[in-house]
Structure formats: C-alpha cells, structure tokens
Amino acid sequence: MIPQTKWFDRKWEFDFPVGYFPAILERFRGTPARIEDLVKSLPAEILAVRIGEAWSIQEHIGHLLDLSDLDERRLADYLAGAERLSPADPQNKKTYEADYNSQVLQNILRDFRKSREELVWKFERLTEEQIARVAIHPRLKQSLRLVDWLYFMAEHDDHHIARMTANARILQKRG
C-alpha cells in the first residue's frame, strides 16, 4: 500500500476556473454517502479501534462533523468580505474531547449528513461573484477563492476517507 501524504505536508495550487464549482460541490455533497457506504460493510467491532495513536474510523467521521462549525464561520467570512478566514484548531481539541469511540455510530453519521446538507444548501444559493471572492487561508497563508476553499474541503474529506479505508484494511487483516 502506498503511504498517504500527511495532510499538513500537502502543497496546494488553485488554478482552475470558477466553473468547476458545480462538480466540486457534488463531490463535497457526496461525502456522507461515501462514508456510509464504507462503514456499512465493516464489522462493528473495528469502527472504534485505533491503530497506535491514529484516530479510529469513528473518530475520523466525528472530526469531519466537528469541522462543520468552522465551515459555517468561514462561509460567513467569505460572504462578509473578510480579508482573512477564521482559523482552525490544529490540535483538533474538539475531536479528542468528543470521545466519538463511545458514541453510537449512526448518530454521528446522521449528524454529519444533516450538517453537510445544510452547508451544501447554502453553497447552492451562492452567486458566481460570491464563489469568486478571495480571502487568506490562515494556515496556508495564501489567498483562496471560495471555490478553492470548497475544493480544499473536498480534498480534506477524501484524505480522511482514505485514512478510514486504510484503517479498515489493516484491522480486517488482523481479524
């Protein structure tokens, strides 16, 4: 298996047209369904298992749910014409404190789907001018159009889905 590049080690170029927005939004919209599809085929006993210090599958899902608040703040930043986007918590304190491994997976999935649907609904109502607005991403220290930020979030979703898939494969081999 090819080792996955760490999220914070990735480099970013956003040189695509605003017209990519509809396709990126569909990818972003589909994350809950892809996660639900992944976990439905997995034995329940592996969903809350950590491999070393790495998050379990449930914790990865919970992390994406936790980011809903940040996503809402950043969308508000763009719509308000902010120069800089709200910062994330690089320590992911909220995810660690939530104890997702002791929660019911179906509740996490339901809450994630609901929050994602609400955010997608807001994205669907944006104008082309709003989609092209620019703000500085605090960690990347580069200007991102709203469409770039949506792509960044879709990539982040896929990063975590890839981690969940890798965890599932490892844990299923251990049997």
Q: What is the pLDDT of residue 38?
A: 97
Q: Would you state the pLDDT for residue 174?
A: 82
Using a cut of 0.75, tell me whether the model's pTM lies above it: yes
Q: How is the chain split into domains, by residue range? A: 21-174
- Predicted pLDDT at 19: 97
Residues ≥6 apart with Cβ < 8 Å to 36: 109, 113
Low-confidence ranges of the chain (pLDDT < 50): none
CA distance from start to end of the chain: 18
Is residue 81 within 8 Å of 89, Cβ to Cβ?
no
Q: What is the pLDDT of residue 2?
A: 85
Spatial contact of 130 and 79, defined as CB atoms under 8 Å apart: yes
Q: Does domain 21-174 have CATH number 1.20.120.450?
A: yes
